[in-house]
Amino acid sequence: MSRQVIKRRSRGFICINAHPEGCRMNVERQIAVAEQTPPAREGVPRNVLIIGASTGYGLACRIAAAWGYGARTLGVFFERPPDDDKTASAGYYNTAALDHCARRDGLLAAHINGDAFSDECKRKTIEIVRREFSPLDLIIYSLASPKRTHPRTGVVHNSVLKPIGQAYSNRTIELDSEKVVSVTLPPASDKEIADTVAVMGGEDWRIWIEALAKEGLLAPGVRTLAYSYIGPEMTWPIYRDGTIGRAKHDLEQTARALDGLVSPKLGGRALICVNKAVVTQASAAIPVVPLYISLLIKVMKEKGLEEGPIEQMRRLFVDFLAIGDDPSTDDGGRVRLDDREMRPEVQAEIANLWPQVTSENLRSLTDFDAYQRQFRNLFGFEVDGVDYERPAEISVELPFD
């Protein structure tokens, strides 16, 4: 047992420690939202695999499936356990809290902590699915990683956040100094583009689904979704038209190919789900995005439209996955959960405020306070109801299959 008073330690866009009690409270709050889910009409998922299940949309989706519909969930993630006097990562504590709540509430939740890109992790997952979760009727691909070791070649690919073709300049919030600053990013090289696609594109998703299909572990009517983002035109040079966007384009091509695999054989679907911009460790690393989300939070709150990951994932199930019919999609075949963010009146107000924001008026023109609080909440800090002067147990055990 190792108890200590845990004070937040940050460096740039990451926290280098986490608070287990704060993470537990975050999970409990999300469970409370999921439990308010109305009864499903049809098509309730029973056996769900979430690849990238410990934070953000992956964690929220797991909670929405389990506590909204009683689904049995298997989560795959790569998180740091506690080590001597060092805390575990937030995702590890999130999963420990989820495990405790699932046992308390009589839900089956299994976990694999490993490199989801690896063949070894896929083999282990297949063994557990065959034993406990077969057949799968929902597979969510929500993996976010800065690098990937290719399982066939052994080559390490590193993703980058860069524009393509020419340099890009705009403004962002420097999270350390809390100032609005200008940033210029050089264009990506061909190798950097290819590496980003290798990490964040659709190849690994395809390998997962093909491996599960080969083993006969997919149920009739199976659905598989991968998460994406489009955003407003002001972010396109660094996002939609940049290296990340190139990877997301590859992800969409993969969805169409996988749909051709699961639709005729199993009556299933492979879809891209476009989510709203939210505060995550990944989004905090993208220049321009912290300023955009700070404005987005303010505008959507004022209009009564604001949603976090759990509210989005609850809506995904209620409006798209538990309806008994094929979910409605846009012209590109994508499920759109970003519809409220992309309303013309929301985007027009953000565009109007954008050039007015300075370091001096940052907190009055945006909701940067909420952005900061949500960012720190990700790691279990500044969570309502937690006594941060009280020692917390950092050596939390998590049963792995």
Residues catalogued as catalytic: 239
Residue whose structure tokens are 């290819």 = 194
β 168-174/14-15 pair status: unpaired
What is the amino acid identity at position 226? Answer: A
What is the amino acid identity at position 324? Answer: G
CA distance 244 to 226: 14
Please, are residues 269 and 335 in contact by the beta-carbon 8 Å criterion?
A: no
* Residue 281, burial from CB neighbour count under 10 angstroms (0-12, 13-18, 19+): middle
Please, are residues 263 and 242 in contact by the beta-carbon 8 Å criterion?
A: no
- At 200, which helix (H) or strand (E)? helix 190-200
The candidate with the shortest Cα–Cα distance to 80, out of 141, 16, 171, 148, is: 16
CA distance 352 to 358: 14
- Name the DSSP letter for residue 383: -
For residue 3, the cross-strand partners are 393
- Sequence-distant (≥ 6) Cβ neighbours of residue 372 within 8 angstroms: none
- Sequence-distant (≥ 6) Cβ neighbours of residue 127 within 8 angstroms: none
Please state, as a whole number, how many other Cβ atoms lie within 10 Å of the Cβ of residue 351.
13
β 109-113/136-141 pair status: unpaired
Instruction: Report the interhelical angle of 20-34 vs 56-69 (nearest 10°).
Output: 50
Concatenated DSSP letters of 159-180: -----SSS-EEEEEEETTTTEE
Please, are residues 116 and 78 in contact by the beta-carbon 8 Å criterion?
A: yes
Alpha helices for 334-396 (secondary structure H): 344-353, 362-365, 368-377
CA distance 284 to 172: 10
